[in-house]
A and B are shown apart, each in its own frame.
Chain A
């Protein structure tokens, strides 16, 4: 019995270090290769030794697929390919391929330079690793080998985020990575066709949330920023370099454009600048508005947003500054925050979630006095706002995607166990699809029905189609043909062709039966009478009187003979070949000729 086996090495009932092993029809695929933000020891990377104890990874894995550039989906890649050792192909989309090394390099720098870790991957390793990458386009079917093919769908989570369909023969698995079903200012919504995979592996970050319309959030955000700058205040927006930052930039940029505002907007330099460059290039991956207008103007060529310089923070007058990192725990955003915190006109907007212990979390939970390093106490007078801009699908969105793809089974990853439980129940209840949620290291085995493709000749198909009078789209239908099995492939051909191919002679099966008639006339006359009688009752069939005195009704032959012993009776010989359909049935025919209450029979015809 064929089966699909799925084992999450990470992201099973958990968020972080996404890494899922899939075995499908003898092929082994690894989906994502992420790191965990919460750990600094061995647990931060997936346990690759699980895959193969002693053998080489390359021999075991057919390919690795990376869904998008977030570190919890690609962070362990150089470690995996260079340090553990994997030389096979790594598939990702073009934007991911472009942006991924920047983030990896950044991650490496922080781990090695700042935290002083040894035995970490090097810059060269990142480069070597990226050399193994094969980039794919959206909706491009890539043949990994003769049987395994993969195809990317748009996921809308970050630039270049994709969902992947993995297909071997008739079995297929779809892995969603992270996705977003509601479009935002720079990306569209995730979309998949009705591909009906055997298994859909979906993220479930917001399994228990139904979100409000994004318009309220956007409007609130813009209104707050606008009001503050109008009153001469400064706005600080701590962001992470990629993803939400660009969305907020576009949002502010268009708003500035529309409202004709002149207040400067700054963006902290470095990583972000590089990333913005890629956003400019990958226009086909963005949303409808940007794609349609980029000929006139590329939306990522910001007119109002300029690079930030440290000195600008002390400039008088209103301004808006995007600064990294997003949780106010270090770096530029914290510096600016300290400078501006004292003025109640100013405002800080936290666009994302903050981990406990960071300054961001403290101010969000309402602390007004912060202890900084060196026993300093910083009094926060500025306004603190929280806005949630998140690019994951909510519960409704997940259901919508499952509905679109129509899978046979669903498997939940990338979420908390408790929340998954709820969604699992809902999916099973409402969509009537069995649902799984394995923990890390736990294997789910799905039996799949084996389907064997059989080739059929077009002529035969057309002929058989023409037989059925009414259209029945999805009902199974009976079909006559010959199945030929030759060198492990199957073909269905018409019997004539089968005979020809196999060099066999055709044997005809003929059935005969005798009907006795009481008739004193000559054979010819009897035949003639039978002929005229049949002619009159079988109007829709072709009845012929042949010169040799026999009568044919389509392929049925009727002959009248006079047995020597009794001139008063005649014997009708009815003979027919074995055939499936078409023409009157011989049994019907003989009963027509012989049944007594037939009104059209000449009365003088005595019956046996």
Chain B
């Protein structure tokens, strides 16, 4: 009886679902389809005044138009256009035409004739300009159609002589975007094609309106971007524009000069008023350098930026940019940089204590001094001390790029970069530190330079200090004094800002391993050992002492003589640190030890292969799963998972792969276990309790599959398919369980959307499901369940192909440390800010995915989206989150702990491309398929807080 009843319920339920779906679909069709063109037509006919018509058009423009109805709409608009007297309405229609012709799936060549037609009769300049814009839209939509392009170019040329600058602007824009490329001009027969677009545009370089001049240069640049080779003659024209009165013209001209210089770097140009000739790129470089001291900062930024990408420039010119040729009272003077260098090389440390230290030396020949060189003299000196920080940043960036390509220049620009560490704007300081890091391969810091660099370690900004630590990681220091100085300053930094501990240790690790020979003579001093006396054993928990040890041990790795200098306790400390801070302390070959580690450590590289092999083998073993009995399969899976996990722990490079496959296997294991349950053989009412296990398994598999899909970087499409397949199986399982216990069934079919994007997989669940699809669609729910059940049990285990590189996203919360016993007290109802500092590894797009969760003791959970600016990117694959979380709660009687953790949010619809018209529109049909959720991916940290009741 019960079974019968259930059957009836199912029948009704399914019916209802189908009807609803149908109804919705038909309604939608009726609502949207016929509206557009007809409604517009009616509206426009109704409009009594131009203002009315404009309103209607504006309303119309807010809604999207389907590709099929575009043509109809265009006809109506054109019809109205001919009748309309008011230019503003015509303008709007023209702009709408342009918008409509951009619709995907609509080919605008049919409206081009009309557009050109109305263009010929139009009188208003604004409407003309707008129509040209429309033509531009049409032209760009049809890039293959040569004839149309020619025709449009022709139209543009006709209107070039218009008196309005707007029209001329648009014409030039059209020419720039559609002007024929030289290759296609081979057919001379077409006559029009032979128009020299460059010549025409070039003529407008001397237009009387600055806006038109700018547009002409931009059009020329556009031609270049489209692959047309610009003539060299343009260079001279562009040079004249550099002294234009208007900044936008100058700014564009600088760009054009740069382009030409990249095209013809080696051609020779004469220097005016002399017989000499120089390479074009050098000449252009000189000219752009000159623009670094332009009156307008926009131009200065532009010029400084472009300087960076002129790598072909000869080194003679390049080095001039850093030389200002100082003089004082007509006598040559050395720069402070030169003096510092001299003092350094003469062995005396910079004293600067004498007045007249900088006294000018030899007399300068008055005739030879050139105050405004056309050359590059001092361009960067000016750029780096510019008033606007935008210019300074651009100059630093340019320095960086040039220094990367020229080691000798890198050496020279060092002094200037070091000077920038003292800029008044933090952004500039940071930028110059980063720049220095990038070029650090080419340079070795002198002691006095290092001194200046290290002085910045006291900066109160954490970003600056950390950037500096990164810089020190990869700098070359020339002397042992330098190393000592660096260590002393870093220790000072450590005492002043204890939170920098990790960063400083890491920095010292690299410093040590880079300069083993320089560290060697310092060891006795650093460890304060004495040849005769035993010294007191330092405190092992002192971060400063650990820092020193990190430096020494890393140096000792490549310097076998060093351990001989260690005292006994140093060895003990080594053993301790090797264990506790293994990422900082390398394995050492120590004398008199049992070299356990040394046997392993030197051969890490050769060992990689076996572990890779092991991974492969254990995964291959699993393929045989199919042929095993359920019991054996379970066991095999269990110990493979265990193996993989252990492997992941041992080999950090393989951790991602191992974890990934282990998770997958765990899912399979759960699935097998669930299917193993006895419940399938028992009648429905009896297994109510047991089914908990199956449904829990299904739920867990789902979770794991989401983790697999979103927590690993480097997952490719083929893996995603397999993961989806697994999830589908889990859903099927869930369905079966729920169908047998409760009454839900309808949902499953809607979840079948997976099937469409799953490829045909031999022998798989989906494969079978697809075979049975026709039956599933028609059969009754009970039957569906039955079919699913058998398919599920018969389906084969799918082999998961391993991706090349796979990394698990992970996060560690550095702060709050969760060790404090002092509760954070605040008045209830108000907020307290909690500083959160965390490192994220292998997280893609952390700005959008990473969230902070705060769990209160009462179970209340709060999700916080950090600002995009809170994420720093110190290295590839690494991110750093430094943010503030605001906590608040009602008053408590006791202090209690809240949990803070990081979540990775995902959105499964992110992989499905959106259609363009959908954006502003109603709810998209895909919504139900997109699943949003979060995965916790950091260890929770407990924070002790105490909201006090407010005092009245």
Interface positions of A (Cβ within 8 A of B): 182-183, 185, 188-189, 191-194, 208-220, 222-224, 226, 254, 257-260, 287-289, 364-366, 383-386, 395-396, 399-400, 403-404, 419, 422, 425-426, 430-431, 462, 465-466, 469-474
3 smallest CB-CB distances across A and B, nearest first, come from A216-B336, A183-B387, A215-B419
Cβ-defined contact, B206 with A430, below 8 A: no
Cβ-defined contact, B460 with A258, below 8 A: yes
Cβ-defined contact, B370 with A216, below 8 A: no
B600, CB-defined interface residue at 8 Å: no
Which residues B328-344 have CB closer than 8 A to chain A?
328-330, 333, 335-337
Cβ-neighbour of B355 out of A220, A365, A400, A404 (below 8 A): A365
B207, CB-defined interface residue at 8 Å: yes
Q: List 14 A-B contacts (CB under 8 A).
A: A188-B387, A193-B295, A212-B326, A213-B336, A216-B419, A219-B452, A287-B387, A366-B355, A385-B353, A395-B327, A395-B371, A403-B372, A426-B371, A471-B207
Question: Which single residue of chain A is at the shortest CB-CB distance from B389?
Answer: A288
- Residues of chain B contacted by A183 (CB below 8 angstroms): 385-387
Do A219 and B419 contact each other (CB < 8 Å), given the known contacts A208-B328, A226-B455, A422-B366? Answer: yes
Cβ-defined contact, A220 with B372, below 8 A: no
Bound CA span A260–B352, Å:
26
Cβ-defined contact, B385 with A215, below 8 A: yes
Besides the contacts A260-B458, A288-B387, what 11 more A-B pairs have beta carbons closer than 8 Å? A189-B386, A189-B387, A209-B328, A212-B324, A212-B336, A215-B384, A216-B419, A219-B422, A258-B459, A383-B353, A466-B161
Bound CA span A223–B207, Å:
54
- Residues of chain B contacted by A185 (CB below 8 angstroms): 424
Interface positions of B (Cβ within 8 A of A): 161, 163, 203-204, 206-208, 212-213, 245, 293, 295, 324-330, 333, 335-337, 352-355, 366, 369-372, 378, 381, 384-389, 416, 419-420, 422-425, 452, 455, 458-461, 496
Do A215 and B420 contact each other (CB < 8 Å), given the known contacts A183-B386, A194-B295? Answer: yes
Cβ-defined contact, A182 with B326, below 8 A: no
Question: Which single residue of chain B is at the shortest CB-CB distance from A467?
Answer: B161
- A187 smallest CB distance to B (angstroms): 9
Cβ-defined contact, B422 with A218, below 8 A: yes
- Residues of chain B contacted by A182 (CB below 8 angstroms): 385
Bound CA span A222–B456, Å:
12
Cβ-defined contact, A422 with B330, below 8 A: yes
Question: Which single residue of chain A is at the shortest CB-CB distance from B322?
Answer: A213
Question: Which single residue of chain A is at the shortest CB-CB distance from B337?
Answer: A216
- Residues of chain A contacted by B335 (CB below 8 angstroms): 212-213, 216
Cβ-defined contact, A386 with B355, below 8 A: yes
- A229 smallest CB distance to B (angstroms): 13
Bound CA span A189–B383, Å:
13
Question: Which single residue of chain B is at the shortest CB-CB distance from A224?
Answer: B352
- Residues of chain B contacted by A211 (CB below 8 angstroms): 326
- A145 smallest CB distance to B (angstroms): 29
Question: Which single residue of chain B is at the shortest CB-CB distance from A406?
Answer: B243
Bound CA span A211–B381, Å:
11
Cβ-defined contact, A430 with B385, below 8 A: no
Cβ-defined contact, B355 with A259, below 8 A: no
Bound CA span A212–B340, Å:
13
- Residues of chain B contacted by A366 (CB below 8 angstroms): 354-355
Cβ-defined contact, A399 with B372, below 8 A: yes
- Residues of chain A contacted by B381 (CB below 8 angstroms): 213
Question: Which single residue of chain A is at the shortest CB-CB distance from B164?
Answer: A462
- B509 smallest CB distance to A (angstroms): 26
Question: Which single residue of chain A is at the shortest CB-CB distance from B366?
Answer: A422
Cβ-neighbour of A213 out of B161, B163, B207, B384 (below 8 A): B384
- Residues of chain B contacted by A188 (CB below 8 angstroms): 387
Cβ-defined contact, A222 with B371, below 8 A: no
- Residues of chain A contacted by B330 (CB below 8 angstroms): 208, 419, 422
Question: Which single residue of chain B is at the shortest CB-CB distance from A405?
Answer: B295
Bound CA span A182–B378, Å:
13
- A429 smallest CB distance to B (angstroms): 9
- Residues of chain B contacted by A396 (CB below 8 angstroms): 324, 371-372, 378
- A327 smallest CB distance to B (angstroms): 14
Bound CA span A451–B329, Å:
42
Bound CA span A419–B331, Å:
12
Cβ-defined contact, A258 with B419, below 8 A: no
Bound CA span A258–B455, Å:
11
Cβ-defined contact, B329 with A222, below 8 A: no
- B240 smallest CB distance to A (angstroms): 11
- Residues of chain B contacted by A472 (CB below 8 angstroms): 206, 208
Cβ-defined contact, A223 with B206, below 8 A: no
- B133 smallest CB distance to A (angstroms): 21
Cβ-defined contact, A400 with B293, below 8 A: yes
Bound CA span A188–B297, Å:
12
Cβ-defined contact, B327 with A210, below 8 A: yes
Cβ-defined contact, B355 with A222, below 8 A: no
Cβ-defined contact, A404 with B424, below 8 A: no
- Residues of chain A contacted by B460 (CB below 8 angstroms): 257-260
Do A214 and B353 contact each other (CB < 8 Å), given the known contacts A395-B371, A431-B372? Answer: no
Cβ-defined contact, B337 with A470, below 8 A: no
- Residues of chain B contacted by A193 (CB below 8 angstroms): 295
- Residues of chain B contacted by A419 (CB below 8 angstroms): 329-330
Bound CA span A403–B329, Å:
22
- Residues of chain A contacted by B245 (CB below 8 angstroms): 194
Question: Which single residue of chain B is at the shortest CB-CB distance from A421?
Answer: B366
Cβ-neighbour of A473 out of B207, B352, B353, B458 (below 8 A): B207
Do A462 and B163 contact each other (CB < 8 Å), given the known contacts A212-B336, A260-B460? Answer: yes
- Residues of chain B contacted by A289 (CB below 8 angstroms): 389, 424-425
Cβ-defined contact, B386 with A215, below 8 A: no
- Residues of chain A contacted by B455 (CB below 8 angstroms): 223, 226
Do A364 and B419 contact each other (CB < 8 Å), given the known contacts A395-B371, A431-B372? Answer: no
Question: Which single residue of chain A is at the shortest CB-CB distance from B245?
Answer: A194
- A420 smallest CB distance to B (angstroms): 12
- Residues of chain A contacted by B461 (CB below 8 angstroms): 258
- Residues of chain B contacted by A386 (CB below 8 angstroms): 355
Bound CA span A219–B384, Å:
14
- Residues of chain A contacted by B366 (CB below 8 angstroms): 422, 425
Question: Which single residue of chain B is at the shortest CB-CB distance from A256?
Answer: B460
Cβ-defined contact, B372 with A213, below 8 A: no
Bound CA span A471–B162, Å:
11
Bound CA span A425–B372, Å:
13
- Residues of chain B contacted by A288 (CB below 8 angstroms): 387-389
Cβ-defined contact, A209 with B327, below 8 A: yes
Bound CA span A189–B388, Å:
10
- Residues of chain B contacted by A462 (CB below 8 angstroms): 163
- Residues of chain A contacted by B424 (CB below 8 angstroms): 185, 254, 289
Do A260 and B355 contact each other (CB < 8 Å), given the known contacts A188-B387, A215-B419, A288-B387? Answer: no
- Residues of chain B contacted by A471 (CB below 8 angstroms): 203-204, 206-208, 212
Bound CA span A235–B560, Å:
49
Do A213 and B422 contact each other (CB < 8 Å), given the known contacts A194-B245, A259-B459, A426-B371? Answer: no
Cβ-defined contact, B329 with A208, below 8 A: yes
Do A466 and B163 contact each other (CB < 8 Å), given the known contacts A430-B372, A471-B206? Answer: yes
Cβ-defined contact, A210 with B387, below 8 A: no
Bound CA span A466–B160, Å:
11
- Residues of chain A contacted by B388 (CB below 8 angstroms): 288
- A398 smallest CB distance to B (angstroms): 8
Most chain B CB neighbours (cut-off 10 Å) among A384, A466, A471:
A471
Question: Which single residue of chain B is at the shortest CB-CB distance from A220?
Answer: B352
Question: Which single residue of chain B is at the shortest CB-CB distance from A187?
Answer: B387
Question: Which single residue of chain A is at the shortest CB-CB distance from B293?
Answer: A400
- A313 smallest CB distance to B (angstroms): 24
Cβ-defined contact, B371 with A209, below 8 A: no
- Residues of chain B contacted by A209 (CB below 8 angstroms): 327-329
- Residues of chain B contacted by A208 (CB below 8 angstroms): 327-330
- Residues of chain A contacted by B213 (CB below 8 angstroms): 473
Cβ-defined contact, A404 with B329, below 8 A: no
Cβ-defined contact, B208 with A399, below 8 A: no
Most chain A CB neighbours (cut-off 10 Å) among B203, B329, B389:
B329
- Residues of chain B contacted by A431 (CB below 8 angstroms): 372
- A391 smallest CB distance to B (angstroms): 14
